């Protein structure tokens, strides 16, 4: 039996205006009012984040909110950036860090990601560290090497700046938004490996308490098989999280 509460997380990426995000969040809040055995999280755009957080609070919803990114300095002359304290004040408890789209399109290196994780912890936000290999890296049999580096570099210095909680999301880059999901056997292997890395960098207890999510083309018809995998503690969902009626089918997976 898993001790870790499953976390079903939505990454809305650059979708939905403020009013659209609030409408979807309120709809979802109503749909999952009676679901208490699963944690639910939404990561809307920065502009929608305070609106969505306030709307959920108004309806006493237990849905958590997250930012999709943050800057690694807390304040200063950094035009266009958003800091951890700003995200905290906007009502979020979590922040995605190192999503593959940030790594691919916005130059987020492992070193930058490490600084962002420290910034999140300073702001009392739970980091959701996203890792995953590209198709070429998988074809070259470098998956475990790549993940090892992403985790080692990502959590550097955290033993002395220990996060209260850390969440990992394994998202093979070739599975994101492509309709191709990784096979359950491969996901199982990777998740066991990631947990062993957490044990190496932190402790056995920390590794056992840490939730490791899978992400990449998760759909209502694949959720049950994914959640049956021993070390999968939840999912990070892009496309299939945009419509509340679809996302609720993922949240309400069969255990
Ligand atoms: P997808 O996105 O579900 O659309 O593949 C997942 C993600 O990028 O987190």
Residue 107, pLDDT > 90, answer yes
- Between CA 217 and CA 172 the distance in angstroms is 10
Q: How far is the CA of 64 from the centre of ligand 1 (A)?
A: 18
State the closest ligand 1 atom to the C-alpha of 130, by its place in the atom list counted from 1.
Answer: 9
- pLDDT per residue as tens digits for the range 3-31: 899 999 999 999 999 999 999 999 999 99
Q: Concatenated DSSP letters for the chain?
A: ---SPPEEEEE-TT---HHHHHHHHHHHHHHTTT--SSEEEEE--TTTHHHHHHHHHHTT---EEEES--BSSSSSS-TT--BHHHHHHTT-SEEEES-HHHHHHS---HHHHHHHHHHHHHTT-EEEEEE---HHHHHTT-HHHHHHHHHHHHTTTTTTS--S--EEEE--GGGTTSSPPPPHHHHHHHHHHHHHHHHHHS-HHHHHH-EEEEESS--TTTHHHHHTSTT--EEEESGGGSSHHHHHHHHT---
Report whether 247 contacts 223 (CB < 8 A).
no
In this prediction, residue 195 carries a pLDDT of 98
In this prediction, residue 182 carries a pLDDT of 83
* Mean pLDDT, range 48-77, rounded to an integer: 98
In this prediction, residue 1 carries a pLDDT of 42
Distance between first and last Cα of the chain: 11
Name the percent of the chain lying above pLDDT 90.
93
- pLDDT per residue as tens digits for the range 241-251: 999 999 999 99
Ligand 1 shell residues, CB under 6 Å: 11, 171, 176-177, 215-218, 236-240
In this prediction, residue 155 carries a pLDDT of 96
In this prediction, residue 163 carries a pLDDT of 80
Q: What is the mean pLDDT of the chain?
A: 95
Binned at pLDDT 50, 70 and 90, residue 173 comes out as very high
Instruction: Please name the residue whose Cα sits nearest to atom 3 of ligand 1.
Output: 238
pTM above 0.85, yes or no: yes
* Mean pLDDT, range 230-235, rounded to an integer: 97
Q: How far is the CA of 237 from the centre of ligand 1 (A)?
A: 5
Report whether 157 contacts 116 (CB < 8 A).
no
State the closest ligand 1 atom to the C-alpha of 100, by its place in the atom list counted from 1.
Answer: 8
In this prediction, residue 255 carries a pLDDT of 59
Catalytic residues: 99, 171
Whole-angstrom Cα Rg for the chain: 17
In this prediction, residue 103 carries a pLDDT of 97
Q: How far is the CA of 154 from the centre of ligand 1 (A)?
A: 21
* Mean pLDDT, range 105-119, rounded to an integer: 97
Binned at pLDDT 50, 70 and 90, residue 181 comes out as confident
From 222, 239, 240, 249, the mutation candidate for ligand 1 (largest count of ligand atoms within 8 A of CB) is 239
Q: How far is the CA of 211 from the centre of ligand 1 (A)?
A: 18
State the closest ligand 1 atom to the C-alpha of 11, by its place in the atom list counted from 1.
Answer: 9
- pLDDT per residue as tens digits for the range 41-56: 999 999 999 999 999 9
Residues 6 or more apart whose CB falls under 8 angstroms from that of 12 comprise 21, 42, 43, 44, 45, 48, 68, 241, 242
């Amino acid at each position: 039996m898993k001790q870790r509460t499953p976390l079903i997380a939505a990454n809305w990426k650059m979708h939905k205006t403020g009013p659209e995000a609030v409408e979807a969040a309120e709809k979802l809040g109503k749909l999952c009012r009676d679901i208490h055995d699963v944690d639910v999280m939404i990561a809307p755009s920065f502009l929608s984040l305070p609106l969505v957080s306030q709307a959920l609070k108004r309806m006493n919803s237990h849905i958590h909110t997250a930012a999709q990114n943050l800057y690694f300095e807390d304040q200063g002359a950094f035009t266009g950036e958003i800091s951890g304290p700003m995200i905290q004040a906007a009502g979020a408890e979590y922040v995605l860090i190192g999503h593959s789209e940030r790594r691919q399109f916005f130059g987020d290196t492992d070193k930058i990601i490490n600084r962002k994780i420290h910034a999140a912890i300073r702001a009392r936000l739970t980091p959701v560290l996203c890792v995953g290999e590209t198709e070429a890296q998988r074809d070259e049999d470098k998956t475990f090497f790549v993940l090892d580096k992403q985790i080692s570099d990502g959590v550097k210095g955290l033993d002395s700046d220990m996060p209260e909680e850390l969440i990992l999301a394994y998202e093979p880059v070739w599975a994101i938004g492509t309709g191709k999901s990784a096979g359950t056997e491969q996901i199982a292997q990777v998740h066991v490996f990631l947990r062993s890395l957490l044990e190496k960098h932190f402790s056995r207890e920390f590794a056992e308490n840490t939730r490791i999510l899978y992400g990449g083309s998760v759909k209502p018809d694949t959720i049950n098989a994914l959640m049956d995998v021993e070390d999968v503690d939840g999912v990070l969902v892009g496309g299939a999280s945009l419509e509340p009626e679809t996302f609720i089918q993922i949240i309400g997976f069969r255990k």
